Chain A
Amino acid sequence: MPRIPEPLRRLTRGLAVPVGSVLFAFVVGGLIVAGTGGDPVVAYQGLVCGGLGILCSGGENSALQISNTIIFVTPLLMAGVAVALPFRAGLFNIGAEGQYLAGAVACTAIGVKFSTLPAPILLPMVLLGGMAAGAFWAGIAGVLKATTGAHEVVTTIMLNYVAQWLVRYLIIGGPLQLQGGFSVSSPIGPGAQLATILPNDNHRILFGLPSSVYRIHVGLFIALAAVAVFAFLLWRTPLGYEIRAVGQSQRAARYAGVSVRRTIIVTMLIAGAFAGLAGAVQIAGVDHNLTDIYFSDTTGFDAIAVALLGLGSGVGIVLASILFGALHAGGSVMQADAGISSSLVLVLQALILFSIGANFLSAIKVRLPAIGRSPSTPPAAIAAAATATEATGAPPEKDTS
């Protein structure tokens, strides 16, 4: 047998669990469709068409489908980072949704209030404002965790709901509501809007459609930069080292002179800033105002699946974001072409989470080398360990430093 080079073998090992989980989800999802009288092949064809622009049966435009997917991928990249970073510190941030909404609210509020300012001033204002709002939202959970030991899962759940109701209040009878409109805010000023990548021109035909229909915007580059910053921060900076040290063992980190409390708070602040940026970019790049679609937004919850499936690595987050972005974009085509509710996408997402979380593959004795011992511990295990050690609700011991 030829010897497989070590890096390749590690790659295969690393990919086995996420790829297996996705396959598991699609198989079970297919069974669910077939079991309820649908045709899984037609359903998945619709998903692939809507997500990747290939195998289309309804005459869909491939370029449009791909650009729709990119629209979904963009916020997922940043929100995925917002979940993945705390994972490395042993914290489970399920509040990315609330932080995302906080960012969207701040961006809208600033973009409306100062709508006459020029882009060089206003654009940084709305993006930084979104980051600050997200950081604040996550910071509440971070400070509570560091000072009273309140579990971040519980506090971020509560903060998610506060944010969701806040959005409803603001645009239904609240201060951000558009005059004479319902469930919609005033639009942000033109200076607060992110430029589209393709010319916003109704007359120029690109890939068979007017180029203005492709809404992809420069926020994509911001998102990719955010992932790069995440990877750099985690592996190339002292703070990243401290975050990983706290995630591995709070006690060991403390003996190494790391301030556990400070690291927890800083990690949550940075994570919240990423999620807040995602919300701000979504407003500035796509929607340009706060609307009722934010009531049922799930970006921050999808981000949990992104971070888990991406095993908390930069490349993994990009790949997982593309998968979930494609699924979301594909759902509507599946519903239109195959008559299968786009909610199947949520079912698939839940199945992926079950599978990743429970590691069914290793449990059914498919011989997989224990990934837990490889240099990159999968975040699910970290999260489990974190819950295990933190469940007592005791605050982190006082730092000696």
Chain B
Amino acid sequence: MTVIGDILRLLTTADLWQAALAASVLLLLPALGGVISERSGVVNIAMEGMMLTGAFFGVVADLAWQNVWLATLVAIVAGGAMALIHAVVSIRFRADQIVSGIAINIFAAGMTVFLVRRIYGVQDIGHVGPSELLPNLSIPVLDQIPFVGQVFFQQNVVVYIALFLLVLVQVVLFRTRLGLRIRAVGEHPHAADTAGINVYWIRYGAVITSGLLSGLAGAFLAIGISNTFVPNMTDGRGYIALAAMIFGKWTPLGAFLACLIFGLGEAIYANNSTIHVSQYLLSMLPYILVLVVLTGVIGRSNPPAADGIPYVPGAE
């Protein structure tokens, strides 16, 4: 029973929740992107590639200009550019969105390594200095609140941004006219078109937004948590984000809850001293959880009705 006792003890420490929140935010950003894209009717399994691209260009820009904010902006734009490819191919050319998503992920994996060699030759890509990393930021006064202060107000700057974006996306999707339009386009594009909504623009916007968010996550990973670029450094996180999106039933708050569960698992494993399970076995858990959810034991999880169907005006 020492294992359970140890976990229970961990759960009462602020350190654990602080680490769990940071870990879950890394998944939350691409998951939010996935929610927005799929709510508009475009299947997006390419968060992995967009995140990887963001991570790479973030490091390149940071090393070149020694400015973390500029580098983060570059990472966001790079993620958005990859999303633009996905958008053009799957909206304009009406390609199969899964094929396009796979292609994006392969393209990102190949292109980043190809460019590492073109730019830096065979030598090491180099490390970003500690002063040029995304900083941790303590909110004055609030960070002194016992427990809560450490968990919520002594975090990396990206954590605050992500939590703000979480609320923003939730409100926009379900409380504003724009959100209604996005959801209408994803559920019934023909009806939305008839009502005067430009299906294409909504979808382009949603897909590109997913890339911007994934790019930011890439920056957080490469020049926040880490300080360099390693080939394939996202290591499936974009897919865990996809899992979180499904787990959360295509809602921002649901996805966040899923990310928090995954992040908590990661943090417990990293901080405990009594669990001697292989980290590799533990890494399977998010994926297995989603498979369990999909068996319908814990209620159905259905995508938007028009998710994955290219829109052809008048072809119903």
Please state if A161 and B287 are interface contacts (CB–CB under 8 Å): yes
Q: Mark B280-309, 1 if CB is under 8 A from A, else 0.
A: 110110011011001110001111011111
* Contacts known (A380-B99, A391-B303); A345 close to B309, Cβ less than 8 A: no
Number of interface residues of A (CB under 8 A): 59
* Contacts known (A169-B278, A354-B95, A391-B309); A301 close to B114, Cβ less than 8 A: no
Q: Mark A364-396, 1 if CB is under 8 A from B, else 0.
A: 000000000000000010011001100111100
* Residues of chain B within 8 A of A144, CB atoms compared: 291, 294-295
Interface-centre pick from A94, A153, A354 (highest chain B CB count, 10 A): A354
Please state if B290 and A162 are interface contacts (CB–CB under 8 Å): no
A341 in the interface (beta carbon within 8 A)? yes
Please state if B309 and A150 are interface contacts (CB–CB under 8 Å): no
* Residues of chain B within 8 A of A20, CB atoms compared: none
Name the prevailing secondary structure of the B interface residues.
Answer: helix
The distance in angstroms between the C-alpha atoms of A161 and B285, with both chains bound, is 10
* Residues of chain B within 8 A of A169, CB atoms compared: 278, 280-281, 284
* Contacts known (A161-B236, A353-B99); A344 close to B291, Cβ less than 8 A: no
**Stretch touching chain A among B23-31, B61-69, B105-113:** B105-113
Please state if A162 and B288 are interface contacts (CB–CB under 8 Å): yes
A213 in the interface (beta carbon within 8 A)? no
The distance in angstroms between the C-alpha atoms of A347 and B117, with both chains bound, is 14
Of residues 104 to 125 in A, which have CB atoms within 8 Å of B's CB atoms? Answer: none
Residue of B whose beta carbon sits closest to that of A298: B106
Please state if B99 and A356 are interface contacts (CB–CB under 8 Å): yes
* Residues of chain A within 8 A of B106, CB atoms compared: 301, 346, 349-350, 353
* Contacts known (A162-B288, A383-B98, A391-B305); A349 close to B278, Cβ less than 8 A: no
Residue of A whose beta carbon sits closest to that of B85: A354
The distance in angstroms between the C-alpha atoms of A70 and B30, with both chains bound, is 39
Please state if A158 and B98 are interface contacts (CB–CB under 8 Å): no
Q: Mark A353-364, 1 if CB is under 8 A from B, else 0.
A: 110111110010
B124 in the interface (beta carbon within 8 A)? no
B180 in the interface (beta carbon within 8 A)? no
Q: Nearest-CB distance from A263 to chain B (Å)?
A: 20
A202 in the interface (beta carbon within 8 A)? no
B242 in the interface (beta carbon within 8 A)? yes
Of residues 149 to 163 in A, which have CB atoms within 8 Å of B's CB atoms? Answer: 150-151, 153-155, 157-159, 161-162
Residue of B whose beta carbon sits closest to that of A308: B99
Residue of B94, B103, B283, B290 near A353 (CB, 8 A) is B103
B45 in the interface (beta carbon within 8 A)? yes
Please state if B114 and A343 are interface contacts (CB–CB under 8 Å): yes
Q: Nearest-CB distance from B307 to chain A (Å)?
A: 5
Please state if B99 and A383 are interface contacts (CB–CB under 8 Å): yes
Q: Across the A-B interface, how many residue pairs have beta carbons closer than 8 Å?
A: 177
* Residues of chain B within 8 A of A36, CB atoms compared: 114-115, 118
* Residues of chain B within 8 A of A359, CB atoms compared: 93, 95
The distance in angstroms between the C-alpha atoms of A387 and B107, with both chains bound, is 22
Residue of A92, A173, A344, A392 near B98 (CB, 8 A) is A92
Please state if A94 and B89 are interface contacts (CB–CB under 8 Å): no
* Residues of chain A within 8 A of B109, CB atoms compared: 343, 346
A351 in the interface (beta carbon within 8 A)? yes
Q: Nearest-CB distance from B246 to chain A (Å)?
A: 6
The distance in angstroms between the C-alpha atoms of A151 and B291, with both chains bound, is 11
A140 in the interface (beta carbon within 8 A)? yes
B15 in the interface (beta carbon within 8 A)? no
The distance in angstroms between the C-alpha atoms of A174 and B43, with both chains bound, is 37
* Residues of chain B within 8 A of A357, CB atoms compared: 89, 93, 95-96, 99-100, 103
A172 in the interface (beta carbon within 8 A)? yes
A165 in the interface (beta carbon within 8 A)? yes
The distance in angstroms between the C-alpha atoms of A135 and B302, with both chains bound, is 26
* Contacts known (A157-B45, A162-B288, A358-B95); A341 close to B118, Cβ less than 8 A: yes
Q: Mark A229-272, 1 if CB is under 8 A from B, else 0.
A: 00000000000000000000000000000000000000000000
Q: Nearest-CB distance from B314 to chain A (Å)?
A: 16
A57 in the interface (beta carbon within 8 A)? no
B37 in the interface (beta carbon within 8 A)? no
* Residues of chain B within 8 A of A358, CB atoms compared: 89-90, 93-95, 100
B310 in the interface (beta carbon within 8 A)? yes
Please state if A37 and B95 are interface contacts (CB–CB under 8 Å): no
Interface-centre pick from B117, B246, B305 (highest chain A CB count, 10 A): B117
* Contacts known (A165-B284, A358-B95); A392 close to B305, Cβ less than 8 A: yes
Residue of A whose beta carbon sits closest to that of B243: A158
Residue of A140, A151, A308, A349 near B110 (CB, 8 A) is A349
* Residues of chain A within 8 A of B152, CB atoms compared: none
* Residues of chain A within 8 A of B291, CB atoms compared: 140, 144, 155, 158-159, 162
Q: List 15 A-B contacts (CB under 8 A).
A: A159-B287, A162-B284, A162-B291, A166-B284, A168-B280, A169-B284, A304-B99, A341-B116, A346-B114, A357-B93, A358-B93, A359-B95, A384-B96, A391-B309, A393-B302
Give 8 A-B pairs besides A350-B111, A387-B98 with Cβ atoms closer than 8 angstroms: A148-B295, A157-B239, A165-B287, A169-B278, A346-B114, A350-B107, A391-B305, A391-B309
Residues on B close to A: CB < 8 A?
A: 43, 45, 85, 89-90, 93-100, 102-104, 106-107, 109-118, 232, 236, 239, 242-243, 246, 278, 280-281, 283-284, 287-288, 290-291, 294-296, 300-303, 305-310
Across the A-B interface, the 5 shortest Cβ-Cβ residue pairs: A346-B110, A350-B107, A358-B93, A357-B99, A169-B280
